[in-house]
Amino acid sequence: MHDASISVCCRGVTKSFGSGETRTQALRGVDLDVRAGELFMLVGPSGCGKTTLISVMAGILDQDEGACALLGQDMSLLSPRERTVFRGRNIGFVFQAFNLVPTLTAVENACLPLLINGVPRTKALDVAAARLEEVGLSGRENSLPRDLSGGQQQRVAIARALVHEPRLVVCDEPTSALDHTTGKVVMDLLRSLATTGGRSLVIVTHDSRIFEYADHMAHMDDGRIDRVETA
């Protein structure tokens, strides 16, 4: 029976790429729990497996061995279409490079997950505009990404990640392209918006300036979790 207090549960997860002499072991038996309502950070050197792990968590990659359940669902047991639908309803993504569509306005970018989930365009735009207001971008709804600062683009990305009320938000280096002051504003927003109502937030980061925001922090090295610290 699924424990509702656990959003992500990984046990003995392994993942490799390539074959023969070029085979690389990215994950080497990862055990991990992310609890509902917490801000969980994955830290460690480049190439240690952080991005591979969140990709397995989100069902973008299949593990080779072990099990990884998201909200009680083992993603590897779903068909590609079922997985896409599950992700679209339950996961929000904040990418390092923002990944905004350059030809769409801020509100059009922010409403994309709702459109993908079949929400009518007019309603989707209204909900997205409310999310942009929550992240401090009221009045910039019709701005194109090129007319926004890095911090403002990241706020649009956060609004997009939260617009469909996902139960898990995954962030890959959300502050690496931002100065310290802007990064702090972004983290305050993520802390206040992304962990409400039992929603969990997983952040992959090298940015030691934001470590203080974590409830738990897993230190990864060479495909393993060395230790998990409690804030």
pLDDT in the model for residue 193: 79
- Environment class of residue 80 by beta-carbon count within 10 Å: exposed (0-12), middle (13-18) or buried (19+)? exposed
Residue 1 falls inside a structural domain: no
Residue 207 falls inside a structural domain: yes
Residue 91 falls inside a structural domain: yes
Residue 1: is its pLDDT beyond 50?
no
Residue-number span of the structural domain to which 210 is assigned: 6-17+25-230
Sheet holding 39-43, edge to edge: 91-94, 168-172, 200-204, 39-43, 216-221, 224-230
Global pTM reads: 0.91
CATH number at residue 41: 3.40.50.300
Of 3-7, 41-45, 138-142, 184-188, the least confident: 3-7
Residue 11 falls inside a structural domain: yes
Residue 194 falls inside a structural domain: yes
Query: Considering its fold, how many domains does the chain have in total?
Result: 1
Residue 198: is its pLDDT beyond 60?
yes
Of 106-115, 125-134, 187-196, 222-231, the least confident: 187-196
Residue 77 falls inside a structural domain: yes
pLDDT digits (tens, 9 = 90+) for 125-142: 999 999 999 999 999 999
pLDDT digits (tens, 9 = 90+) for 155-179: 999 999 999 999 999 999 888 888 8
| Cα 25–chain centre separation | 23
pLDDT digits (tens, 9 = 90+) for 215-228: 999 999 999 999 99
Q: In a 3-state reduction of DSSP, which class is residue 62?
A: coil
Residue 196 falls inside a structural domain: yes
